[in-house]
Amino acid sequence: MSDQAEMLRRIVDNMNNGLPKAEGLKPEKRARVITITSGKGGVGKTSITVNLAIALSRLGLRVAILDVDFGLANIDLLFGIAPKYTLLDLIRDEKSIFEVLTDGPNNIKFLSGGSGVEELMRMDRKKLRKFMGNIALLDKLYDIILIDTGAGLSQNVMSFIMAADEIILVTTPEPTAITDAYALVKMVSRRDRKKIIRILVNKAETAREAEDIANKLIVVSEKFLSLKLSKLGYILYDDTIMKSVKLQKPFCLSHPRSQAARSLFALADVLVDYNRSMEDMLGARGFIQRVLSFFGA
């Protein structure tokens, strides 16, 4: 541990020196932050987050998951791993980022927000500085950070949505899930019409049904909200998912040949193909800074 703490201090010190931003220099490494969200609850966000993390790690990316769902501690249940620490331990400055991240399968790390999210607002300057230093390390250590949010349009969830570089908006074919997804796009469009929102239709009966739903959302959002959504893809209804939940193993690991797993691998390919330049990304540090500024708003 003390070695890790030492390393942490060195990196943070380096960071605070503020590297020159001369032209032609490679931009600072940043993590791509993707928030997975939905209007309605129970549409599959957490299952998708966990399995997308597996699929992305299989492509050689270093993935971390931040669970900011205030309800049940879901991610750990799906991994079957109980974390020792939460975001609160980091905020209270009792643990470093290395200690609070829990090891998942495939080198994936995860961190539960828990009640720590509320506590973010109460940090004094000194704690905030240290906290941001820890968060900035995520940019160096990870390529992708997936944020699993709760459902709905609460102020907190909206902060995580608006702060992210990209959003994956999950819906199912249920009419209420679709209208709630649209309501969420509407909220986003009021604040930022350029936000990258990718639609993922989950639990569809057929590919055709999924395509129709995604297309409708795209057309309506463009027409009435002037916001261009894009399609990430779909996952059909698949009993394997329930089975894997009981096994407490992500289906991409327990049933890698299942229909659902193959869909997830394809979705990961789509995400990775969309290569963003570092300058366009906020990174973990920029993300948390924005979350904090929205919380205060």
Ligand X SMILES: Nc1ncnc2c1ncn2[C@@H]1O[C@H](COP(=O)(O)OP(=O)(O)OP(=O)(O)O)[C@@H](O)[C@H]1O
Rule CB under 6 A: which residues touch ligand X?
Answer: 38, 41-47, 69, 74, 150-151, 202-203, 235, 237-238, 241-242, 245, 260
235 binds, among Mg ion, ligand X, none (CB under 5 to 8 A by kind): ligand X
CA distance 55 to 266: 9
Candidates 35, 37, 46, 263: give the one binding Mg ion (CB under 5 A): 46
**Structural contact between residues 169 and 181, judged by C-beta atoms closer than 8 angstroms:** yes
- Tell me the residue type at 8: L
The CB-of-123 to Mg ion minimum distance in angstroms stands at: 26
Give 46 or 156: the residue with its C-beta nearer to Mg ion.
Answer: 46
Residue of 117, 172, 114, 111 lying closest to 138 (CA atoms): 111
Task: Work out whether 221 is an interface residue with Mg ion (CB under 5 A).
Answer: no
Give 155 or 277: the residue with its C-beta nearer to ligand X.
Answer: 155
Residue of 191, 131, 136, 182 lying closest to 158 (CA atoms): 191
Q: How far is CA 147 from CA 63, 64, 225, in A?
A: 11, 9, 25
Between CA 162 and CA 69, with CA 99 as vertex, the angle to 5 degrees is 35
43 binds, among ligand X, Mg ion, none (CB under 5 to 8 A by kind): ligand X
CA distance 293 to 228: 26
The CB-of-184 to ligand X minimum distance in angstroms stands at: 13
Give 45 or 109: the residue with its C-beta nearer to ligand X.
Answer: 45
Give 121 or 242: the residue with its C-beta nearer to ligand X.
Answer: 242
Between CA 278 and CA 108, with CA 185 as vertex, the angle to 5 degrees is 45
The CB-of-197 to Mg ion minimum distance in angstroms stands at: 19
Give 27 or 42: the residue with its C-beta nearer to Mg ion.
Answer: 42
The CB-of-217 to ligand X minimum distance in angstroms stands at: 17
Residues binding Mg ion (CB under 5 A): 45-46, 74
